[in-house]
Amino acid sequence: MLRNTASNRFKVAVLGAAGGIGQPLSLLMKMNPLVHELTLYDLVGTPGVAADLSHICTPAKVKGFLKDDIKAALDGADVVLIPAGVPRKPGMTRDDLFNTNATIVKNLVGACATACPKAKLLIISNPVNSTVPIAAETLKKANVYDPRRLFGVTTLDVVRANTFVAEKLGLNPFDVNVPVIGGHSGPTIVPLLSKVGGRGFSEEELKALTHRVQFGGDEVVKAKDGAGSATLSMAYAGAEFAQFVLRAARGDKGQVACTFVDAQNTGLGKEGIAYFSSKVTLGKDGVDAIEEVSSLGLTPYEQQLLETCKTELKANIAKGIEFGRK
């Protein structure tokens, strides 16, 4: 493990930092020893959030920025986390969020293209299956697109899978690592439960666990009774993935995580699936390698889930590309 020095600690920006995900995410990033500067941007509230966080006794320096100050927030950023947007409400699908969040992501990524073109962008704003293609098209227009540096954060699906499997098997969640591939909504989420060590699952258990991982967000929306969606667990997942990215940027080897990335140079890309959540090895510049789905040894059940995923995912991606090219 490399030591934390001035040369391997990073500036992180959170866009949408005053929101339900943004605030706890900013707290977690303030606590991260690899962060030396944390900038918070939102339309309202960020000076107060920054002042609050600045009282926490960790080394990261925090500043809050509003409205027209986005360039100052982004200048020199190594990693940008984007949770900005409206939350999902009861009865809403991630696609229902599209019109509002698509515009928000397009504008924010456009600002990143100008202010920090070499930053690694971590897209949390839903629907990720569409917002990542929007981000890519925005970066392409600005001639700064590097597929190694753009990520859709699907870590919450992995976090849920690990949690639900651990509960089912009576294990410590830290000892469980379920790869989750595909996309980040409903049937596009494909948890590879066959990769769990120990005893297998019955067909009934497989179906129940798969459904719970795919639609875990609905549990939270229902439990919050219309008052919000998954914010705390999403903030945790965002911080977890950011940690992988930061460790890799520092030079740590063996940083492997599932994330929604450009898949055009993979076998799935040849099938017309331009983006896909895969097991990715991370390096200093972002994506080092993408593990081919064909090498994962999917069971017949998982292969069936994958085929269902592909149809919906293609449509989600096409919608994002079309919007991004406008």
Positions annotated as catalytic residues are 184
Q: Phi and psi (nearest 5°) for 204?
A: -65, -40
C-beta separation of 38 from 14 below 8 A: yes
Residue among 279, 282, 278 nearest 250 (CA): 282
Q: Phi and psi (nearest 5°) for 63?
A: -135, 145
- At which residue do the structure tokens 């949390």 appear? 124
**Tokens coding 182:** 């595909």
Alpha-carbon distance of 171 to 169, in angstroms, equals 5
- Paired sense of beta strands 61-66 and 35-42, if any: parallel
Alpha-carbon distance of 211 to 290, in angstroms, equals 26
Classify 93 as helix, strand or coil. coil
- At which residue do the structure tokens 């293209």 appear? 113
Cis upstream peptide for 83 (omega within 30°): no
Q: How far is CA 236 from the centre of its chain?
A: 11
Residue among 279, 267, 274 nearest 136 (CA): 274
Query: Torsion angle of alpha carbons 88, 140, 268, 261, nearest 10°?
Result: -50
Alpha-carbon distance of 91 to 112, in angstroms, equals 33
Alpha-carbon distance of 93 to 268, in angstroms, equals 25
